[in-house]
């Protein structure tokens, strides 16, 4: 993965706490395309023993946000974080008209 330094992109990790430790389990990404802010997400399935790969997770979230892969609704366990991230994107991408969230 090459470094994402585009000023029209923003992302953050989804974190979970377990046994006093904090683990990265997914990523939420936002990108501005024209006047629209689009948000994508990725999350590993910890119950199946998946381990989160940060590079793949961020790429998957951006691919969903940019429409390169199918966008499915965000799981219930991350929807509140996606909403908060949407508000962050509106503040970051000043002057954008619409917000598309996977909820």
Q: Which two tokens stand for residue 57?
A: 């997770």
Q: Where are the domains of the chain?
A: 9-100
| pTM reported for the whole predicted model | 0.90
Residues of the chain with pLDDT below 70 are 1-5
pLDDT at 28: 97
pLDDT at 3: 59
pLDDT at 51: 93
For the chain, the average pLDDT equals: 92
Tally Cβ neighbours within 10 Å of residue 73. 11
């Amino acid at each position: 993965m090459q470094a994402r330094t585009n000023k029209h992109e923003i992302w953050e990790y989804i974190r979970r706490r377990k046994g006093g430790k904090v683990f990265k389990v997914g990523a939420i990404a936002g990108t501005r395309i024209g006047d629209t802010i689009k948000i994508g997400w990725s999350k590993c399935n910890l119950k199946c023993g998946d381990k989160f790969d940060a590079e793949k997770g961020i790429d998957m979230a951006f691919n969903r946000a940019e429409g390169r892969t199918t966008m499915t609704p965000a799981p219930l366990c991350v929807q509140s974080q996606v909403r908060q991230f949407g508000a962050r994107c509106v503040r970051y991408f000043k002057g954008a008209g619409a917000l598309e969230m996977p909820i």
